[in-house]
Amino acid sequence: MEDGYQELDEPNRKKRGSLEAWIKLGVILVLLVWGSALLISSLPLEHHSDHKNGLRHIPKRTKNGQLKVSFANLRNDTFSPVTRSLRWLYSDDATEDDQGFFLTEVNGTYVVRSVFDKDYSRVLLEKSDFVYAGQNLTAESIIASPDQEHILLKTDTVKNWRHSTFGSYYVFDTKDHSINFVGNNISLALWSPNSNDVAYVFENNVYVYSSKAGKTIAQVTHDGSSQVFNGIPDWVYEEEVFEGNQALWWSTSGEYLSFLKINETEVHEFPIAYYVQHDDDIYPEIRKIKYPKSGTPNPSAEIQLFHLETQHLSSVFAGNSSTLVTEMTWLGGEQLLVKVTDRTSDTLSILLVDAGKGGVVTTPRVCPSGEGWWEITHRTTYLPKDIKKGRKDEGYIDLMPVDGFNHLAYFSPPETDEPVILTRGEWEVVDGPTAVDLETNNVYFIATKKSSTERHLYRVNILKPEKIEAITDTSKPGTFSVSFSSGSGLALLNYLGPDIPYQKIVTLRTHKKDSTIHGNIVGKTLYYLEDNAALHRVLNLYDVPKKTFGTLELGHDQNGKSVTANYYEILPNDFDPSRRDHYPVFFFAYGGPNSQQVLQIFSVGFNEVVSSQLDAIVVVVDGRGTGFRGKDFRSYVRDNLGDLEAQDQIEAAKIYGNKPYVNQDKISLFGWSYGGYLTLKTLEKDAGKHFKYGMSVAPVTDWRFYDSVYTERYMHTPQENPEGYRKAKVSNATALGQAQRFLLMHGTGDDNVHFQNSLKFLDLLDLAGVENYDFHVFPDSDHSIRYHNANIIVFDKLLNWIGQAYDGQFVKIG
């Protein structure tokens, strides 16, 4: 489940946590979209537009004369750091001589540059506008071949689901500037490592295009249909397994192509009605998607192997609705590693497919999860054999639990089930290895070694396991992401907070160090890509409420063990602790399994607006079930969603309610997606005792209604765990009615958390005669609620509604 909540200036968040997306974006392509440079002269005029809705007047400035944070700031990117995107390019000799070639775009011109040689410049594409067959076209994105002699140009992009699109593709020759057409309505196109061939998917069939021949040379599959997906995921695999639109992978030599054939024939359909797509529509448009709900048939996934030279296609593994294929990684030219779990993520199997022997499959590892579950990862990393470098055989690095915490393990040869443990301790490696330098045998990774609320960069050598070296400065709080050059000798280091972000290019194959420590304590800074000097100047004009991080003691678990949760609080401007029974407390929660919100990054978003404009204390608590604190902490919630997470929010509310400066009658909780569910479960469990108000956006209300892959990972199936599903459902409307008032909002076009959840909940309230709530529907909006100005309205509504609640304007009904 991905959190649909956005703090106006932040990107969508991933299911592992609403804040974890900051890390992922930096690791993949360092594409943190933070806006453009800010000038003081362009600052928006301050205003508070909510007076018309009955809110009390809020001063625009603090006592020291600085400006307060408002929605106008967020919507005009006043506090958005600038981030430069950089795409590292492949280089044949990068392992030994890493020149750090990267692709950059300036005013529509795509140029190859080198971080070492600032004078090096090679134009790949002069301009994004081009003419083909008499048509004027614009390349909306480009993908260069590994040798940079050809470029895939994508035009006419049409959005599909969260990660997938369709588009028209052309191949541009960077030498003679010729252009060849590949096809329209293509859903995926990938260069082969041989820089000649392109695998693409059209109408759910896989094809191979040759840039040398200038045409499609093979149709690999012929059975693609509305229910059979070759090379791309169906809805649930896209949303919950791959978190992307790719289910096709080239071998390292380009000799073989592996892909999934996903058959969703047995998956039940869910209809979604769209009401406002066209002004002249008098009947709603009905779109049906194959959506497997908990306990219903899943799609089946079959692993296909295609040999380019012989054009032989074979099936090497046929799964069924009880299995999930979660990852495929080529270990060299002929060996394919595949991860398979059962549908409830209890058991992980590692398969090795030998393409050179016709697709023979062996299973060197079968790993039970114990009391927890297997989270899906996508970072298994291949290490080729190199006797001179001490690597006696082929191998790979994987993420696996070591004493209850996720750590790196080196499997060599791939058939072994007894790896070399590279990292160990009561902390976690995040997602897996970030890069491997094959010249030095150093493995780089982001981890929580210093604190679970921070992310630092480390390295370990495969020949010196468990001897871990910090790359970033752990003497100061910090959250970093990183992307590495082709040879992993150079890195784009992104400092994400808690102070103002910056980016720098660092060389790590050196014994030299910076004279002034700023971020990295290992390696030499070549130059800053962005220092956000303009944002420093802007912030001098504002009194931005500060986040303070810490831990809360939330009582004891059923075994008598103390429950300690990470949290942060934001105190309002001109906070005065001597005031009695004064301050409202605005709790914001997500709380989904293995997620995280309490992370030390720089952000000025909705929480800061609430604190500034409503003179409220904002509190965010990562309770039991959240991630990056070890298996035991996240496994608390297995088979019992909504119970302990709600209890932890209530215990935190008790703590704040006992503070003398807090008004106990003005404690509220807000959440979106899983957070919306947690809000309702907390109000239900609390029955008005501590939380007086709640705001729930796009919530699950019954886990039988949510998709099988996500839900069953944490709850098993309804058939296996009927009592767990009954308890996890939002069902006690009478208890909910004990709150002073609550707000519910949902988009009717939500393909993720279906509008069905809110409708069922509303019916429950009607049957119980509960009336102390407000409801707002957003026609045709999906989970992020953005369609037809909806994102402006949803946040305005949230701020105005809770402002009215704190002002005592709501009279309880029923």
| 47 belongs to the catalytic site | no
**What is d(CA 131, CA 177) in angstroms, rounded to the nearest whole number?**
11
- CA 787 from chain centre, in angstroms, equals 21
Which ranges of 478-590 does DSSP label H, i.e. alpha helix?
Answer: 533-539
Take residue 491 and report the two structure tokens written for it: 């890195």
**What is d(CA 49, CA 27) in angstroms, rounded to the nearest whole number?**
39
For residue 299, whether the previous peptide bond is cis, meaning omega lies within 30 degrees of 0, is no
Take residue 359 and report the two structure tokens written for it: 């697709």
Q: Are strands 479-484 and 490-497 parallel, antiparallel or unpaired?
A: antiparallel
**What is d(CA 209, CA 223) in angstroms, rounded to the nearest whole number?**
19
Take residue 258 and report the two structure tokens written for it: 């592996």
User: DSSP string spanning 465-506?
Assistant: EEEEEE-B-TTS--EEEEEE-TTSSEEEEEEEESS--EEEEE
The strand ranges marked E within 343-463 are 347-354, 360-368, 381-383, 395-402, 405-411, 420-421, 429-437, 442-447, 456-461
Q: Is 775 helix (H, G, I), strand (E, B) or coil?
A: strand
Contacts of 211 (CB under 8 A, 6+ apart): 145, 150, 171, 173, 180, 195, 196, 197, 198
Q: Answer for the pair 422, 414: CB distance below 8 angstroms, yes or no.
A: no
Which helix (H) or strand (E) covers residue 759, if one does?
helix 756-768
Best CA proximity match to 88, nearest among 63, 59, 112, 54: 112
Take residue 542 and report the two structure tokens written for it: 């504002």
State the first-to-last Cα distance of the chain, in angstroms, to the nearest integer: 34
Q: Is 286 helix (H, G, I), strand (E, B) or coil?
A: strand
| Count of helix runs (H) and strand runs (E) in the chain | 13, 44
Best CA proximity match to 116, nearest among 101, 94, 134: 101
Best CA proximity match to 471, nearest among 525, 430, 531, 406: 525
What is the CB-side half-sphere exposure of residue 58 using CA atoms within 13 A?
30
Q: Are strands 583-589 and 617-622 parallel, antiparallel or unpaired?
A: parallel
- Active-site hit among 197, 615, 750, 780: 750
- Active-site hit among 164, 211, 451, 673: 673
Q: Is 537 helix (H, G, I), strand (E, B) or coil?
A: helix
Q: Answer for the pair 736, 707: CB distance below 8 angstroms, yes or no.
A: no
| 673 belongs to the catalytic site | yes
Q: Residue 791: what are its φ and ψ, rounded to 5°? A: -65, -30
- Active-site hit among 150, 716, 746, 783: 783
| 300 belongs to the catalytic site | no
**What is d(CA 25, CA 47) in angstroms, rounded to the nearest whole number?**
33
Take residue 728 and report the two structure tokens written for it: 């996890």
Take residue 557 and report the two structure tokens written for it: 């678990």
For residue 718, whether the previous peptide bond is cis, meaning omega lies within 30 degrees of 0, is no
Hey, which residues are catalytic here?
673, 750, 783
